[in-house]
Structure 1
């Protein structure tokens, strides 16, 4: 299994370098080779995670396993969307982050066993939560890129940058992702309220509260954009704030328990 992880890391690294090369050579015909390397990395990464998470008694949903799974989902979605969104500048970051989490997961294995086969409603809740977090994480990356491009535009320095998507197009894709993420997040919260009696138990109440606050932030952002015409910095900072709240909700207590306390 370690060989799978090492090969996935090598292909992620190759894909990242290929994307950097393509950024400064926009007419290069080698983009498909970078995408091919990324697909190989994703397949190897996914196979390694299946053997690490699923093929054990129960499911090992340690913090790093879940974080690595999220990075796999984000990298997979971005690989599918990159040619449409034209956000090649983000791909080295996406692939590099997936590589680093894979390294950490392999070198620092953790254990948090669940038995989702006996509780399909929990599996649905977790799947919806991870998919919504991944989509909103991608939206956060697009928001940061939007802020960077807006800043460069105001400084009249966009001409020195490699090929970038138009700002209006990027903003449109950003809100589409936020809307899709909010729909999945709504379903995740609803499934938790209906099926998980322990959702507001003492050890998990902070996760529920932070997730609901993040949901309110995103809904407020969509409402403000639609009704009040919010754009620019309000959109960027609100999107980043929502993503940070979800990160604290999903990984905050797990980090304290598994890393700081070692339990």
Structure 2
């Protein structure tokens, strides 16, 4: 068993324990999910374990090893770092109720499906920089998409009739423990603005790498097409936000569509090749 699998498994266990510690009080009738200082330190420890697992799995001597699960793991790991930094200045512990189960699942997938392929031209500095930028954009937009899903559920919860306390389930209490929608919307668009900027850098750096390797800035392959579709979607969303004040359900739909395109650009296609078609 490789060190990468071991550390991904340890990270998944740490994330799962933290998730249980937050969800358990809600099942007993508590109204709030609160991580506290100890919880933040434990979360940072889990993130460090996760990072070591990625380093052991991806950064091989003189090469880079990537697969659909490792790419998704690296993206959500970067997203968790961003969330942890945000949590130092904003009270957004409630978002961990959805982030922790998601990152637990992704860490398990990376441990179960460590297969991948060695990235060609891995010694190219531009390529390494492009991969780092692209994964950072992926991480930002992944967290934004998870938050959009949470906001969608919270919006539906707010439009339901008020339930008696005795009749409310722990899901309802979990949604009530989330930050207000306005706070979440502010955080969502901050993530999207930063993610769009980093995604733009990824498109530019990818074009530079492609010109150096193939002579074409935008080859017509699935990665390029879906990445550009995602870039156009988020660009359209931000333009609509500026020009027409888009928010609420419209913004959430655009966010999820943009994330779906980005997911298909690498992880989705690699899943089909590596798992369904079993091609390296």
| TM-score class, shorter | 0.7 to 0.9
In structure 2, the residue matched to 1:233 is 249
Q: CA deviation at 1:102?
A: 2.2
TM-score (normalised: structure 1) = 0.88
- In structure 1, the partner of 2:187 is 173
Moved more, 12-21 or 193-202: 193-202
Moved more, 238-247 or 206-215: 206-215
Please report the RMSD computed on the Cα atoms of aligned residues, expressed in angstroms. Answer: 2.5
Specify the alignment match of 1:91 in structure 2. 96
Cα distance change, pair 213–117 in 1 and its aligned pair in 2 (3 A): closer
Q: TM-score by structure 2 length?
A: 0.83
How many residue pairs match? The answer is: 260
Moved more, 56-65 or 74-83: 74-83
CA contact (8 A) 2:9 2:111 kept: no
Residue 50 of structure 1, CA deviation = 1.1
Change in Cα spacing, 1:217 to 1:108, as seen in structure 2 (3 Å) is closer
Structure 2: 5+ residue runs without aligned partners? Answer: 166-171
| Structure-1 separation of matches of 2:121 and 2:235 | 30
Question: What is the aligned partner in structure 1 of residue 79 from structure 2?
Answer: 74
SS in 2 for 1:60: strand
Q: Which residue of 2 aligns with 1:11?
A: 14
Aligned counterpart for 2:226 among listed residues 188, 193, 210: 210
Per-residue Cα deviation, 1:182-215 (whole angstroms, up to 9, x for no partner): 101111101112231346446xx22111111111
Q: Secondary structure at the match of 1:109?
A: coil
Q: Does 1:46 align with 2:51?
A: yes
| CA positional deviation for 1:78 | 1.9
Distance 1:217 1:240 in 2: 10
For the pair 1:132 / 2:134, whether they are aligned, the reply is no
Map 1:104-143 onto structure 2 (within 5 A): 104-114=109-119, 117-143=122-148
Matches of 1:141 and 1:85 in 2, distance apart? 18
Instruction: Note if contact 1:68-1:105 (Cα within 8 Å) is conserved in structure 2.
Output: yes
State the distance in 1 between where 2:95 and 2:152 align.
13
Q: Which moved more, 1:166-175 or 1:184-193?
A: 166-175
Q: Distance in 2 between matches of 1:50 and 1:109?
A: 13
Contact 1:86–1:164, Cα closer than 8 Å, also in 2: no
After TM superposition, give the deviation of residue 59 of structure 1 in Å: 1.3
